[in-house]
Structure formats: C-alpha cells, structure tokens
C-alpha cells in the first residue's frame, strides 16, 4: 500500500496541474467568448431588425440561465449531435457561449461612446462598412470596454470551477480528488481557494497594466 502511495504524483504537482487547467480553460473560454461576443454585439447594434432581435434573445438567454445549466446542456448535447469531444471542449464551449453574452454587452457599451461622426467621416473617406468596423470602430470599442472585459476574465476564472462538474480535471476537481484520498477537506479546499485568489490577483494586476498601456496617448481614463 505504501508503495502504491509513492507512485501517485505529489499533491503539489497535482494542484499545479489543476491550476494550469483552470487557467487554460478560462482563457480559452474567454477568447471564444470575445469572438462570439464581438459578433453578437455587432448584430445587436446592426441596422437589421432580425439580427438585433436574434442578438438580444441570445444575450437575454445566456445571461438569464445559470452557467451550470448551460455547461450541463452543452456537455450532454454535443454527443447527441455526434460530436464526441473530450469534456475540456464542452467546458470551453460552455464558458465561451455564456461569457459571449456578457462581453457583447460590455462591447456595446464601448461602441456607444464612439461619436457617430466618426463612422460618417469614414464613409466620406470611402471606407467600406467592413473597413470602418475593422479600423475605426472595433479598436476604440475594445479600448473603452477593456476594464469591463478584464473584469469578465476574472469572473470567468471563478466560474470555471463549475467545469469540474462536467469532468474537467481543473483546480476544483483536483482538490476534490486529493480530499478523497487525504480526508482533510478544510485544508485542501482552503488551499484551492487561495490559489484562485492568487490567480485573480495576478490577472487583476495584468489587467491594470494593460489598461494603462491601452490608454497611452488618450489622456486619463477615456470614459
């Protein structure tokens, strides 16, 4: 028995692996959310009524249903349409779809502060609508929405603890595994909590630096 225990990886290593998985899942989910979120946001502010209604419904649904429920739906639904992917992908897709709804709203806030004259000026300079979006609107909207988007990243990191339920070996799941062996729940769950706290702190710091950099040449807070 003691030999068997020696083969098991040391707990610190397991926790580190879990923390890395947590970080990767949430960053991937966040990136997917930004891509879908930008699309949904552009639909939400587009001139086509149908696109606006679809986007508004998307935002209302994904913000109105608990993330856990969304994750379970994605997890069960993917195999039903013949996509037998590892849980990691279900987790990233679930996080991404949910986070997209929040990021779309954050970005919309960013778009709303851009003066209307800029788009008109771009048209006068013979920019196509796609070029106007790509070169004029999106860069400014991203900068204005940066604080909210960074905050969203921290929220997703915390929410990613739910992916343990659909079988991803993230920090929460790994600490559960350790507790199952070690029977010391307070210690290990508090350690897991502290690791989340540290990652959040680092993300917040990086976010603050990024915000400062984005605002170089734009005076103080652009809002």
Partner 1 sequence: MTFSLSLLGQYAPQLLKGFELTVIVWLAGSLFAVVLGFALGCALLSKHSGLTFPVRCYVEFFRGTPLLVQLFVAYYGGPSIGITLSAFTVGVVGLGLYGAAYFAEIFRAGFASVPAGQIDAARSFGIPVWSRIRRIILPQMLVLSVPPGITLLIILLKDTAILSIVTVPELTFQVTGMTIETFAFVEPFAVLAALYWALTELVSFLGRRTEYRLGRYLK
| Smallest distance, partner 1 to C-beta of residue 104, A | 16
Which 137-176 positions form the footprint of partner 1 (CB under 8 A)?
Answer: 158-162, 164-165, 172, 175-176
Q: What CA–CA distance (Å, rounded) separates 169 from 163?
A: 8
174 Cβ contact partners less than 8 Å away, ≥ 6 residues apart: 14, 15, 17, 18, 21, 192
Site membership for partner 1, residue 101 (CB under 8 A): no
Among 73, 119, 136, 210, binds partner 1 (CB under 8 A): 73
Site membership for partner 1, residue 25 (CB under 8 A): no
45 Cβ contact partners less than 8 Å away, ≥ 6 residues apart: 52, 108, 111
- Which one, of 149, 150, 199, 148, lies nearest residue 170 by Cα? 199
Site membership for partner 1, residue 51 (CB under 8 A): no
Q: Torsion angle of alpha carbons 93, 95, 99, 100, nearest 10°? A: 0
Site membership for partner 1, residue 5 (CB under 8 A): no
Site membership for partner 1, residue 27 (CB under 8 A): no
Task: List residues near partner 1 by CB under 8 A.
Answer: 60-61, 63-70, 72-73, 76-77, 80, 158-162, 164-165, 172, 175-176, 179, 184-186, 189-190, 192-194, 196-197, 200-201
């Amino acid at each position: 028995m003691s030999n068997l225990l020696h083969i098991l990886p040391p707990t610190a290593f397991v926790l580190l692996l879990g923390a890395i998985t947590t970080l990767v899942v949430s960053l991937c989910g966040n990136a997917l959310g930004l891509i879908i979120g930008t699309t949904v946001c552009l639909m939400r502010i587009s001139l086509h009524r149908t696109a606006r209604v679809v986007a508004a419904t998307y935002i209302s649904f994904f913000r109105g249903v608990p993330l856990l429920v969304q994750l379970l739906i994605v997890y069960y639904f993917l195999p039903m349409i013949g996509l037998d992917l590892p849980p990691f992908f279900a987790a990233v897709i679930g996080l991404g779809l949910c986070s997209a709804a929040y990021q779309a709203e954050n970005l919309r806030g960013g778009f709303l502060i851009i003066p209307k004259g800029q788009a008109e000026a771009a048209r006068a300079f013979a920019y196509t609508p796609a070029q106007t979006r790509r070169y004029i609107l999106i860069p400014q909207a991203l900068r204005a929405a940066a604080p909210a988007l960074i905050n969203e990243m921290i929220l997703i990191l915390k929410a990613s603890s739910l992916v343990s339920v659909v079988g991803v070996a993230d920090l929460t799941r790994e600490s559960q595994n350790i507790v199952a062996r070690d029977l010391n729940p307070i210690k290990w769950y508090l350690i897991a909590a502290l690791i989340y706290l540290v990652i959040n702190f680092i993300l917040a710091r990086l976010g603050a630096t990024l915000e400062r950099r984005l605002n170089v040449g734009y005076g103080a807070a652009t809002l």
